[in-house]
Amino acid sequence: MNQFRKFDMVVKAPVLLKMWYNDLNVFHKRDLNKYVGALTELINMVGWPELVEVFTCYWDNERMAFQFGTKEITPTIEEIRDRIDTVGIGLERRVRKQESILIPNKPTLEDIINWLGLRKDYAHWAEGSSISFMDLYIRFRNASFYSNYNQEFRVTFREWDKIRSLAFTTTLSINTREIMLAHTLFHGHLNQGQVKYYPIAPVILSDMYHALGRCKEGHRYFQGSKGYGTQQLHTLENNNSLKGLNDVLFWADLENRKTRGRWAQIFSELREDDIQWMFNRFILKDVIVWGHRQLVLPLPGIQGIRLYAPIRVLRQFGRIQTTSPNAYYRIYVFDIGDDRVHEALEMLRKWKKAVQMDEKTIAVDRFNARYDETYKAWLKDNIQGISFPVPNIYRSVEDKESKALIELREVKKEA
């Protein structure tokens, strides 16, 4: 199995995190539903490292897309948003207009002290670029914890209780930039004297791209619990060869399928008609597809900046895929570390001027939109040498038991 690059990742939420969530009352959970959405479901998710390890092999870290021969797909902002949206988020979005992207700069210690209601003399644990899970856990899990550390807080118990949802949200990935993001989701971000609100999906997508690229380059840790969970959901839902997830036959043989070899076989045998290009419930009239002057757009995240090129995957929006103009794909790929994001205002301007496709461009059969006659030849030249060469041993594997069950099912249908 040395053909597959292995790396570490979080496959289950810590037990203490689940205990903390269970201690939250109905009002806390209502706030989480309103501002964070379905991301809290990640605490119940069990990861499949074998799937992600094989899937990462097909990642093109220059174009930010998965390449399966001449079949190209990538997670998009709209798909991520669709996955995490709840009724609460939908209602809140109507009340509070959202900007396109957030620049998650590192907050100051003073910011963190104010947001978490701390006394400065006791806030030494909040210094630096990250905060440990346990430091937040022992101060915000339940009411008894407030009494243990009340000398560290400058807020009353009632005010502290209102902060608990925010504190819980930051523990999903405890980088201080994440605290800035969480605070923005709940309370907005003061920008030039005006409070503005921002979506979380672009940040998740940027960190997902970052994690995939780092692991493709040989790094040993798939970083970012939000990105990993959503990426796995995207993998399973966007691949028609995996539609059998809803089929009893698939689940009956699941343990045999959860191997690197089996996943490699599935991906190596993908055909054009095997790809589900658009979610069944995904209906979006207007979508951003490219920048005003440059084809690609900047996508700021917690870990760095990555490029966004939805024009390469128009079929995922129910549009006919056309041949993309040439573009320089390395312009927006860099990590930011502890620094503030440079040229932030320029990035915001590029999103304000981004080009959209309206509902008139939606294909008649939006779930099976095709491509123009020059696209395949262009894509083949554009991605030469990108796809991961799956070992022949996996190409020739035949799941005889599953094949027999499928044939039996077809016979019963005909009868």
Task: Give CA–CA dist 161/146, Å, rounded.
Answer: 9
Domain presence at residue 363: yes
Contacts of residue 250, defined as CB under 8 A and 6 or more positions apart, other chains included, come to 244, 257
Domain presence at residue 347: yes
Residue-number span of the structural domain to which 192 is assigned: 15-274
Higher per-residue pLDDT: 354 or 9 = 354
- Whether 213 and 321 map to the same domain: the answer is no
Sign of CA dihedral 267, 269, 272, 278: negative
CA 413 from centre of chain: 39
- Confidence bin at 11 (pLDDT 50/70/90): confident
- Whether 130 and 262 map to the same domain: the answer is yes
pLDDT score recorded for residue 338: 66
Tell me the per-residue pLDDT of 349-385, one tens digit each, with 9 for 90 and over: 899 999 888 888 888 888 888 899 899 988 888 877 5
Tell me the per-residue pLDDT of 140-190, one tens digit each, with 9 for 90 and over: 998 889 999 999 999 999 999 999 999 998 876 567 888 888 899 899 988
The neighbour count for residue 236, using CB atoms within 10 Å, is 13
CB crowding 62-86: b at 16 or more within 10 Å, else e: ebbbbbbbbbbbbbbbbbbbbbbeb
Contacts of residue 13, defined as CB under 8 A and 6 or more positions apart, other chains included, come to 42, 43, 44, 45, 225
Above 70 in pLDDT, residue 87? yes
- Whether 74 and 174 map to the same domain: the answer is yes
The neighbour count for residue 252, using CB atoms within 10 Å, is 12
Answer with the one of 326, 346, 367 that is the final residue of a domain.
367
Count of structural domains, the chain: 2
- pTM as predicted: 0.84
Strands (E), 100-196: 189-191, 194-196
Contact 68, 313 (CB under 8 A): no
Domain presence at residue 115: yes
**Average pLDDT of every residue of the chain:** 80
For the chain, the straight-line distance linking the first and the last C-alpha, in angstroms and rounded, comes to 43
pLDDT score recorded for residue 410: 42
Dihedral in degrees, nearest 10, Cα atoms 388, 392, 395, 399: -130
- Whole-number CA gyration radius for the chain: 23
